[in-house]
Amino acid sequence: MDHFPTNWGRPRNDAFDAYGTYPIQQRPNNIKDNFNGVQRTQQPIVTGTSVLAIKYKDGIMMAADNLASYGSLARFKDVQRLHAVGNHTVLGASGDMSDFQYIQSLLDDLIIEEFTEQDEHTLGPAEIHEYLSQLMYGRRSKLNPLWNSLLVGGYKDGKRFLAYVDLLGTTYSASTIATGYGSYIAQPLLRKAVEGREDTLTEREAQAILEESLLVLFYRDARSLDKYQIAKVTESGVSISESMALRTSWSFAEGIRGYGAQTQ
């Protein structure tokens, strides 16, 4: 029996227990919420949309636009969603941007610690991906997820690496991966263009494939932007491009009901 009257709760709560059916010791106590002073992420707030990535002849290539949305509001239009992790790895994120920036800071610390060891062992994409998988799975198991779908791409010791991990800790690897809306719209295009040609696709071809997919996404995904960056990881390391603009064309819309001037 709790002897502190302040914890007994109000004796009557018309909305909850209009007829006082609860005996006193079972009445709801006065705790305001179930969080015990701790807040957990229940939903993403400022979000990035799809990330696309493919394997090609010299390594892997990844693309994401520069938009961070606040619901349907295009809130930040110059956000970078591709992040270099050491010299062999690039990380691309969709989902909650503040969680992503937190992950970036974790990884930056990790890379500094690894660097200070000053031995010949460095973290490659496979190790970064495993670390992130453990991080994401650990957080989902505390019911406090980092609300992202992440792509990890890289090239180390002559091997390409491309894999996915999301807020549930689900992982997989494939020669083309797209997150979010892109998994429905871009992934089929990427598979058609890449599967079976991973070892012959040139850098130009790879970039053209990604740009074509970004373009289709921009036409169809209301949370996307025509400004994007492309990252590549090859033998010679990571490079992330400056922001570029998609070359859109709307003339085809003329003939589509709902876009152009309607004749009836």
Partner 1 sequence: MPQTRSFDPYTENGGTILAIAGQDFSVIAGDTRQSEGYSIQTRYAPKVFRLTDRAVLAVNGFAADGNMFVKKVKQRLEWYRHAHAKDMPLRAIARLIQTMLYAKRFFPYYVYNILGGIEEDGTGAVYSFDPVGSYEREACRAAGAAQSLVQPFLDNQIYFKNQVPAPGTTHPAYLSLPDVLSIVIDSFTSATERHIEVGDGLEIYIVFAKTRDLQDFETIRAKNVHLIQELTVAEDGERIFVLRRDLKKD
Partner 2 sequence: MFRNTYDSDNTVFSPQGRLHQVEYALEAVKQGSAAVGLRSKTHAILLALKRSTGELASYQQKMYRIDDHVGIAIAGLTSDARVLSNFMRQQAMAERMIYNRPIPANRLVSSIADKAQVNTQEYGRRPYGVGFLVIGLDKTGPHLYEFSPSGNSYEYFATSIGARSQSAKTYLEKHYEGFADCSLEELITHGLHALRETLQQDKELSIKNTSIGILGPAGAHETGVPAQGSFRILEDEKIDVYLQSMVPKELEAPPITAPPPTAGDVDIQMTDN
The residues assigned a catalytic role are 41
* Count of Cβ atoms closer than 10 Å to residue 247 Cβ: 8
Options 45, 57, 98, 140; binder of partner 1; rule CB under 8 A: 140
CB of 121 to partner 2, least distance (A): 4
Per DSSP, helices labelled H in 145-222 are 182-194, 203-220
- Calpha distance 76→225 (Å, rounded): 10
CB of 10 to partner 1, least distance (A): 14
Q: Smaller CB distance to partner 2: residue 109 or 195?
A: 109
Q: Binding residues for partner 2, per CB under 8 A?
A: 117, 119-121, 123, 126-127, 130-131, 134, 157
Burial group, residue 117, by CB count within 10 angstroms (0-12, 13-18, 19+): exposed
- Residues whose CB falls within 8 Å of the CB of residue 6, separated by 6 or more in sequence, listed in order: 30
Options 89, 187, 207, 234; binder of partner 1; rule CB under 8 A: 187
Say whether residue 143 binds partner 1 (CB under 8 A). Answer: yes
Q: Which residues of 125-147 are buried (b: 16+ CB within 10 A; e: fewer)?
A: bbbbbebbbebbbebbeeeebbb
Name the DSSP letter for residue 256. S
- Calpha distance 130→147 (Å, rounded): 17
- Calpha distance 20→27 (Å, rounded): 9
| Contact flags string 11-30 toward partner 1, x per CB under 8 A | -----x--------------
Q: Smaller CB distance to partner 2: residue 116 or 248?
A: 116
CB of 33 to partner 2, least distance (A): 34
Return the range that interacts with partner 1 (CB under 8 A); candidates 2-10, 32-40, 94-102, 200-208: 32-40
Return the range that interacts with partner 1 (CB under 8 A); candidates 108-116, 137-145, 221-229, 241-249: 137-145
**Closest alpha carbon to 48 in 241, 245, 227, 224:** 224
Say whether residue 172 binds partner 1 (CB under 8 A). Answer: yes
CB of 31 to partner 1, least distance (A): 11
CB of 169 to partner 1, least distance (A): 4
- The contact set with partner 1 (CB under 8 A) reads 16, 33-34, 40-43, 133, 137, 140-141, 143, 145, 164, 168-174, 183-184, 187
